[in-house]
């Protein structure tokens, strides 16, 4: 097993399912290598739990290279732990001190119900994406990739917003559990590029409507989301979303003509 030199105390949130109440349980993580990732440390703890016949700690993970957005964990009061611009899977144990007590909690939001222990259901994000976070491509001949000129500044802004992995750290960090950083990143990414233009004003309305439906809070422009985002998505995206939304509602309705009533 593990043969590192770090010994840690973990306070982990254990909860059987969404219906039952959860509580913190304390575990010892012994002989941990500082070169392990946070998730590998949990793997070691889970292995010893399994050997003892206990239920292992459930947590979300997938690619473990910081790009899939599956890992979560609210570690010592920070989504994805204390380091800036890293996901939990890319957080190394050398970021902690030997003998430290680490508190691990799930994302806390009504829209992210707990599945089990530290795993939460983030399908609310999928439903927001399905509401309009795409570009409709009709079949036909494939067009040349560089046929449409795009100014570099626009491409850069769109790509910066496109780095959002949809992990939900913004919701976890926000005091209002608002999803606006995520939603605005998607809206910016698609709305800036020419391919996303035709659906730009419809998209912002449907995605915001779905976001409200899911029960996320509102934005107070506090900026906790921007500070904790592992991909450093900018708060300015939210302002851009607001601008697009109000502009869509006030000036960009499909038809400005009044409805005809009665005879010819």
Pick the closer one to another protein by CB: 62 or 212: 212
Cα angle for residues 186, 189, 190 (degrees, 5° grid): 85
Instruction: In angstroms, give the least distance from the CB of 176 to another protein.
Output: 4
Contact between 260 and another protein per CB under 8 A? no
**Residues of this chain, 23-42, that bind another protein according to CB under 8 A:** 24
d(CA 119, CA 140): 42
Q: Are 76 and 103 in contact (CB under 8 A)?
A: yes
| Phi, psi angle pair for 120, to nearest 5° | -115, 155
Q: Which are the contacts of 163, defined by CB distance < 8 A and separation ≥ 6?
A: 231, 232, 233
**Residues of this chain, 156-195, that bind another protein according to CB under 8 A:** 173, 175-178
**Residues of this chain, 76-105, that bind another protein according to CB under 8 A:** 76-78, 82, 103, 105
How many DSSP H helices and E strands does the chain contain?
8, 7
Neighbours of 70 (CB within 10 A): 19
Number of residues engaging another protein in binding (CB under 8 A): 47
Interacting span for another protein (CB under 8 A) from 63-71, 158-166, 206-214, 256-264:
206-214
d(CA 20, CA 113): 12
Instruction: In angstroms, give the least distance from the CB of 138 to another protein.
Output: 29
Instruction: In angstroms, give the least distance from the CB of 242 to another protein.
Output: 4
Interacting span for another protein (CB under 8 A) from 53-61, 132-140, 157-165, 210-218:
210-218
**Residues of this chain, 228-257, that bind another protein according to CB under 8 A:** 235-236, 238-247, 249, 253
Q: Which are the contacts of 195, defined by CB distance < 8 A and separation ≥ 6?
A: 135, 137, 148
Pick the closer one to another protein by CB: 119 or 208: 208
Contact between 17 and another protein per CB under 8 A? no
Residue 43: in which H helix or E strand, if any?
helix 38-51
Pick the closer one to another protein by CB: 202 or 249: 249
With b meaning 16 or more CB within 10 Å and e meaning fewer, what string describes 146-180? eeeeeeeeeeebbebbbebbbbbbbbbbbebbbbb
- Looking only at the bridges linking them, the beta strands covering 101-105 and 6-14 are parallel
Interacting span for another protein (CB under 8 A) from 86-94, 106-114, 141-149, 193-201:
106-114
Contact between 154 and another protein per CB under 8 A? no
Q: What residue ranges bind another protein (CB under 8 A)?
A: 11, 24, 74, 76-78, 82, 103, 105, 108-111, 173, 175-178, 208-209, 211-212, 215-224, 227, 235-236, 238-247, 249, 253
């Amino acid at each position: 097993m593990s043969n590192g030199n770090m010994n840690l105390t973990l306070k982990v949130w254990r909860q059987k399912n969404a219906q039952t109440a959860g509580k913190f349980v304390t575990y010892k993580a012994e002989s941990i290598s500082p070169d392990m990732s946070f998730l590998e440390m949990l793997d070691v703890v889970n292995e010893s739990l399994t050997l003892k016949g206990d239920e292992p700690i459930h947590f979300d993970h997938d690619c473990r290279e910081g790009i899939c957005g599956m890992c979560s964990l609210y570690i010592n009061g920070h989504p994805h732990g204390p380091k800036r611009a890293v996901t939990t899977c890319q957080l190394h144990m050398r970021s902690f001190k030997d003998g430290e007590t680490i508190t691990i909690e799930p994302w806390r939001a009504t829209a992210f119900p707990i599945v089990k222990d530290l795993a939460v259901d983030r399908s609310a994000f999928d439903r927001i994406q399905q509401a309009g976070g795409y570009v409709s491509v009709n079949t036909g001949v494939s067009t040349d990739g560089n046929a449409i000129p795009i100014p570099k500044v626009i491409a850069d802004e769109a790509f910066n917003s496109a780095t959002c992995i949809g992990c939900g750290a913004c919701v976890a960090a926000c005091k209002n559990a608002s999803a606006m950083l995520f939603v605005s990143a998607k809206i910016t990414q698609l709305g800036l590029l020419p391919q996303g233009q035709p659906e730009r004003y419809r998209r912002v309305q449907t995605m915001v409507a779905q976001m409200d439906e899911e029960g996320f809070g509102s934005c107070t422009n506090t900026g906790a989301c921007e500070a904790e985002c592992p991909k450093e998505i900018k708060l300015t995206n939210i302002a851009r979303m607001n601008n697009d939304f109000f502009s869509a509602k006030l000036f960009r309705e499909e038809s400005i003509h009044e409805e005809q009533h009665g005879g010819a």
